[in-house]
């Protein structure tokens, strides 16, 4: 198959759906690659790199569409591009079929097979093709960079001869892929980060990244299908807004990411909250494309309010990091084509029984196949049901039952061990029993000694390793004076190797400690 990639026609779009590295990846699958001249220019991929990777440069979009069996692009095709699609051709791009019903009908009328990369189901096997997560990751990171560019202070706190600089306080609303990326970037820059999400199960993820999760005392789960949040009840929303109002005067930077696919962005950061923020504060609204989470957001613009708060409503954050975004997008598409080419022979096999391919396919052979059926494997496992609380009497009965079970298991093990020892004593030679007794005692004493070691070194593993090495040295020293030359040589080698391990452990520990000492 010939896979072609045209130049993106949307204003300000700098990404490209095929990179030189993805050309090599697709070539290994038996496909030939074509790309429109200059398509990768804004993403820092000149035509020469594509030629070196084995792609053919095509002079204009018309020739590329005509000569390609599969066309990969980023943005949904515009009307002029739809007119270039022919029957039997395959289009792989973002489509947003739920929001672009007329576009889907037009694509289907052309007889093309259309795979919407935004419809890849959120199951484990499909993560390598999830372009929404790839682009959201970039958007979250870039949001912090844009905020830092407009924030008039440091992110990290400092104490200098000129005075004390307090750390910036960042609030991230929504802890999906974009929110977690924003949290990670802000924490790494030294800011104090707080985060909120309607899904309580993400609290552990937020806290593991060094941020504080803002709990809301309200019994309602915001977890929806496919890993997204669901719309909140009016009562929950009022509690949520009250929490945000209490945070607004103290927060320097707000990053909002709350967005449910196919719906307008919920208004979460209202005008009164913006007016309560300090001059110089920044709001970055990642939901600006769907109206924004902030009341004052203007899509594709950066504005400053009367009280000196900067509100950034850019809708092209991934495009502002075109090289990285193109690499990730092209890799996602490459994985999709790899699944479509199971035999790596350059022939597409459109298996509609495959959950991932079926989920992404929105039109095929003149038939609209959107919406897809739910995947056979659920995208996000349901939270485990809480066990019913037991009464004190029931707890006591359960503890007694568990104790009796453990006792029975221990008695059974002792009986089996006694029978085995009795059998060994009856049939094994006397010398064997003497050595076996020493062996058992050594194991018992060694176990008690090793696991009783205090973890004084920089890792518990190294402490235990050094304890084991010490026991080896002790045993080898007892054997080093043996009358047997072989035993003496082996004992000497044991002492040497174990000593190297002990000395090396302390040297590594010394180096580790030196990293935290002031020079």
User: Catalytic amino acids?
Assistant: 122, 127, 130, 133, 228
Cα atoms found within 13 Å of the Cα of residue 279, Cβ hemisphere only: 3
70-72, strands of its sheet edge to edge: 56-58, 32-36, 2-5, 70-72, 90-93, 113-116, 361-364, 367-368
**Helix H segments across 361-484?**
392-427, 430-451, 460-479
Give the C-alpha separation, 519 to 506, whole Å.
20
Angle between helix 392-427 and helix 430-451 axes, rounded to 10 deg:
150
The DSSP 8-state label assigned to residue 370 in this structure reads P
Give the C-alpha separation, 172 to 104, whole Å.
35
Question: Which residue do the tokens 């919406």 mark?
Answer: 371
User: Which residue from 171, 184, 362, 374 is spatially nearest to 278, judged by alpha carbons?
Assistant: 171
Q: 10 Å Cβ neighbour count for 487?
A: 14
Question: Which residue do the tokens 């309580």 mark?
Answer: 200
Give the C-alpha separation, 134 to 328, whole Å.
6
Strand partners, 176: none
Q: Name the 3-class secondary structure at 414.
A: helix
Dig out the tokens for 40 from the structure.
């990768």
User: Which residue from 384, 376, 346 is spatially nearest to 358, judged by alpha carbons?
Assistant: 376
Q: 10 Å Cβ neighbour count for 248?
A: 20
β-strands 310-312, 302-304 pairing = antiparallel
Decide if 252 contacts 281 (C-beta within 8 A). Answer: yes
Q: In degrees to the nearest 10, what's the CA dihedral of 438, 442, 443, 444? A: 100
Strand partners, 4: 34, 71
User: What's the sign of the alpha-carbon dihedral 505, 506, 507, 509?
Assistant: positive
Q: Name the 3-class secondary structure at 456.
A: coil
**What are the φ/ψ torsions at residue 445 (nearest 5 degrees)?**
-65, -45
Dig out the tokens for 319 from the structure.
């495009």
Using alpha carbons only, give the angle 196, 197, 202 rounded to the nearest 5 degrees: 105
Decide if 359 contacts 378 (C-beta within 8 A). Answer: no
Q: 346: burial class by Cβ within 10 Å (0-12, 13-18, 19+)?
A: middle
């Amino acid at each position: 198959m010939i896979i072609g990639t045209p130049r993106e026609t949307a204003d300000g779009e700098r990404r490209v759906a095929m990179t030189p590295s993805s050309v090599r990846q697709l070539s290994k699958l038996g496909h030939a690659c074509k790309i429109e001249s200059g398509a990768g220019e804004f993403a820092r991929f000149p035509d020469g790199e594509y030629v070196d990777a084995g792609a053919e440069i095509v002079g204009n979009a018309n020739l590329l569409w005509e000569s390609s069996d599969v066309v990969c692009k980023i943005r949904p095709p515009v009307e002029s591009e739809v007119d270039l699609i022919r029957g039997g051709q395959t289009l792989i791009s973002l489509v947003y079929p739920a929001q672009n019903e007329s576009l889907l009908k037009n694509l289907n009328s052309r007889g093309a097979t259309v795979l919407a990369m935004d419809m890849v189901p959120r199951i484990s096997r499909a993560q390598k093709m999830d372009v929404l997560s790839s682009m959201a990751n970039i958007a979250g990171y870039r949001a912090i960079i844009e905020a830092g560019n407009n924030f008039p202070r440091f992110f990290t706190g400092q104490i200098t001869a000129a005075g004390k600089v307090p750390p910036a306080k960042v609030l991230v609303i929504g802890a999906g892929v974009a929110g977690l990326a924003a949290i990670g970037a802000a924490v790494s820059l030294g800011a104090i980060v707080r985060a909120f999400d309607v899904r309580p199960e993400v609290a552990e993820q937020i806290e593991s990244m060094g941020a504080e999760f803002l709990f809301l005392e309200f019994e309602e789960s915001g977890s929806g299908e496919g890993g997204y949040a669901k719309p909140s009840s009016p009562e929950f929303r009022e509690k949520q807004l009250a929490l945000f109002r209490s945070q607004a005067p103290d927060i320097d930077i707000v990053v909002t990411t709350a967005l449910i696919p196919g719906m307008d962005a919920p208004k979460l950061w209202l005008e009164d909250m913006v007016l309560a923020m300090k001059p110089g504060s920044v709001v970055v609204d990642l939901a600006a494309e769907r109206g924004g989470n902030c009341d004052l957001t203007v899509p594709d613009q950066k504005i400053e309010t009367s009280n000196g708060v900067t509100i950034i409503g850019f809708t092209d954050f991934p495009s502002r990091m075109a090289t990285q975004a193109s690499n990730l997008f092209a890799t996602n598409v490459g994985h999709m084509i790899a699944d479509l080419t199971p035999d790596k022979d350059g022939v597409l096999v459109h298996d509609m029984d495959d959950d991932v391919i079926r989920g992404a396919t929105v039109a095929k052979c003149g038939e609209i196949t959107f919406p897809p059926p739910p995947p056979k494997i659920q995208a996000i496992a349901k939270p485990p049901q809480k066990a019913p609380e037991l009464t004190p009497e029931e707890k006591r009965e359960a503890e007694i039952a568990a104790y009796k079970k453990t006792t029975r298991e221990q008695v059974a093990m002792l009986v089996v061990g006694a029978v085995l020892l009795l059998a060994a004593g009856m049939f094994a030679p006397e010398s064997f029993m003497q050595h076996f007794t020493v062996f058992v005692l050594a194991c018992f004493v060694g176990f008690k000694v090793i696991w009783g070691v205090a973890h004084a070194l920089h890792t518990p593993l190294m402490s235990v390793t050094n304890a084991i090495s010490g026991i080896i040295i002790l045993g080898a020293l007892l054997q080093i004076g043996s009358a047997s030359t072989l035993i003496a040589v082996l004992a000497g080698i044991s002492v040497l190797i174990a000593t190297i391990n002990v000395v090396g452990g302390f040297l590594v520990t010394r180096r580790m400690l030196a990293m935290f000492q002031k020079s």
